[in-house]
A and B are shown apart, each in its own frame.
Chain A
Amino acid sequence: MKNRLKEIRATKGISQEELAEALEVSRQTISSLENGRYNPSILLAFKIARFFQMSIEDVFIYEEGNVDGR
């Protein structure tokens, strides 16, 4: 699963630290999400989408045929 988190965060001018604080996760989690090393739970995906006032599909891009989503 790909995501546009880095791009959206940069557009909004928010640092990783600030986003991590708002979502109540670690900065490393944000970094891993942005690099595609980690796929979030549906709950965290919703939290991220809500934070940016977008839908999940606007932030995360599901790719067919990739079993673990990476």
Chain B
Amino acid sequence: MEDKLKKQKIKYFFYSLFAYLLGATIYDLIFNYERNGSRVIFAFIFGFVIRALYDLYEHKRYPEMKEKEKQLEKDERLIIIKDKAAYVTYNITIFILAISWIVTIVKQNEELNIFITVLILVMIATMELSKYYLSKKM
């Protein structure tokens, strides 16, 4: 069952990618390659809708798979793995932003420097607030 779920997730990923590309192609055919931003939004929404419909179909067809998926969401080991992965991702993101911040100083790009500074501060504040909230809760 778990192996089937893994395969299904890979299938979902490619299905979503295909739906996104299909959305972009449909947009190009209708609007004749105009407005790049709108094309991305259209393709994203199209992909999202198709994926949601496919999810609904799969849920009706294999209800036991969804049950297993819900069960695995409660698995304590998987929760710990997700938390650790999120923490590593957070640290790497902060590190990359810090390097970008230094680059913007060297390149004297003030607007981008302010944007990155705000981004770093928001990330740190969110992390600290989450820690404070969770420490009060537990």
A interface residue numbers (CB < 8 A to B): 17, 24-29, 32, 38, 40-41, 43-44
Contacts and interface: CB of A to CB of B under 8 A. Distances in A.
B2 A25 contact: no
A29 B71 CA distance: 13
Given A26-B77, A26-B78, 5 more contacts: A24-B74, A24-B75, A28-B77, A29-B76, A29-B77
B77 A24 contact: no
A13 B71 CA distance: 24
What class of interface size applies to chain B in its complex with A? under 10
Interface majority SS on B: helix, strand, loop or mixed? helix
A20 to B, nearest CB: 8
B110 to A, nearest CB: 48
Contacts of A40: 76
Contacts of B121: none
Contacts of B105: none
Contacts of B76: 25, 29, 40-41, 43-44
25 contacts: A17-B1, A24-B71, A24-B74, A24-B75, A25-B75, A25-B76, A25-B77, A26-B2, A26-B72, A26-B75, A26-B77, A26-B78, A27-B2, A28-B2, A28-B77, A29-B75, A29-B76, A29-B77, A29-B78, A32-B77, A38-B77, A40-B76, A41-B76, A43-B76, A44-B76
Nearest 6 pairs of A and B residues by beta carbon? A29-B77, A25-B75, A26-B75, A24-B71, A26-B72, A41-B76
Nearest to A32: B77
A28 B2 CA distance: 9
A42 to B, nearest CB: 11
A27 B76 CA distance: 12
A36 B10 CA distance: 29
A27 B71 CA distance: 12
